[in-house]
Structure 1
Amino acid sequence: MTTGHRAALRTIDDALLAELLRVAVLDAAADEVTPPLTPGHGWTPQRQDWFVAYHRRCRDGLAGPSGEAAWAVVVDGAPMGCVRLKRTAEAGVLEVGIWLRRSARGRGIGSQAMTAVLAEASAAGASAVVADTASGNRGACALLRAAGFTLTESQTPDGRVGARRTLTD
């Protein structure tokens, strides 16, 4: 099912960052958005502080010290989630990550956002993009497959899935 509205990527300024944090806290699991910084799975003050600091660090982009760039995924001006690209140790390869608010899932917004962020990766000169997700995250696995990624399940007990897509001109 696709939405009748077009998802776009927007640079995250302080006003949009405040909206994005509100959306994340109200309509996404903290474990989907942040590392496990504190015991439990909730949106603790530490996780919220990390979220804000992370997005501010990403403002310097792929060439900056963090080697990451992030954009808000917006539909009709409203934030639906976030996508990011990160440099990897492999030359020309970027890692992609995405999270969407629960109410935005299953509406084609993730596919639109992935298409847009892959265009950003290509514009940045990447030859390939990789991703990593939990094998039980059916939505993420389906999104990656639909975007042309090849998925490989880990042979370790952590239940991770690696994904890779070669970019063409």
Structure 2
Amino acid sequence: MAGAVRLEPVDERNLEPLLSVAAAEAEPEDVMPPVDAPAGWSLARRDAFREFHRASFAGLDGPTRTRMYAILTGGEVVGMVRMTRCDEPGTVETGMWLGRSARGQGLGAAALRELLNAAAAAGMHTVLARTTTDNAGALSVLRKCGAKLRNDDGKVRAEICLDSALPAV
């Protein structure tokens, strides 16, 4: 299944399917900023999820400087990957989540490769990511995509240079 991934900019058409996957297969704190609301996927959290994603509909040149993409495989939404413009010219930061049923199938690396292509097409030269030393899935995806990893007190900073060829799958 690895490689059978397509990215679509998050918009009103795919926002509800994205929310459905998040609510069924992820914890709120893994897919959106904290919200002062009852635990779990309360109505308030679902509304906050929608607003969080809608705020980035304008893309890299919009107020949030972020483009979010629904990750699709087999025509179904399985997660989200984003890129956010950094202050350093030609640099974006990325983050991603996948629903539990989509993990461990190579979809994360395939989605990140698609994002790297989108970042290069947008004129970017560097993609950064941050994770923790215990996030084995994220570290594996980043390594597969050629990231240079730097450990900094329990946190990992990853950097992918788009000016060179990406490693083969």
TM-score norm. by structure 1 comes to 0.90
| 2:43 maps to amino acid | P
Cα RMSD of the aligned pairs, angstroms, is: 1.7
> 2:55 aligns to what SS in structure 1?
helix
1:167 aligns with 2:165: no
Output the CA distance in 2 between the equivalents of 1:41 and 1:145: 34
Give me the whole-angstrom Cα distance separating, in 2, the residues matched to 1:76 and 1:57: 27
C-alpha deviation, 1:17, in angstroms: 0.4
Cα distance in 2 for residues equivalent to 1:116 and 1:23? 20
Residues 40 and 138 (structure 1 numbering): CA distance in 2 closer, same or farther, change over 3 Å?
Answer: farther
* Paired residues, number: 164
- For 1:39 and 1:141, the matched residues in 2 are separated by 31
Q: Among 26, 30, 33, which residue is 1:32 paired with?
A: 30
Matched, 1:128 2:123: no
What displacement does 1:38 show? Answer: 3.3
How far did 1:91 drift? 1.5
**Gapped regions of structure 1 (runs ≥ 5):** none
Contact 1:70 1:84 in 2 (8 A): yes
Superposition deviation, residue 4 in structure 1 = 6.5
Question: For structure 1, which segment, 25-34 or 41-50, has the greater mean C-alpha deviation from structure 2 after superposition?
Answer: 41-50
- CA distance in structure 2 between the partners assigned to 1:125 and 1:96 by the alignment: 15
Pair 1:60 & 2:55 matched: no
1:62 and 1:86 in contact (8 A); partners too: yes
- For structure 2, the residue ranges without an aligned partner over 5 or more in a row are 165-169
Greater displacement, 105-114 / 32-41: 32-41
Q: Give 1:85 deviation, angstroms.
A: 0.5
| Stretches of 4+ aligned residues off by more than 6 angstroms | none
Amino-acid identity (%): 37
Whole-Å Cα distance in 2 between the matches of residues 61 and 4 of structure 1?
Answer: 27
User: SS state of the match for residue 17, structure 2?
Assistant: helix
Q: Deviations over 1:81-113 (max 9, x none)?
A: 001000112121100111000000011111110
Residue 14 of structure 1: CA displacement? 1.6
User: Which residue of 108, 112, 137 corresponds with 2:110?
Assistant: 112
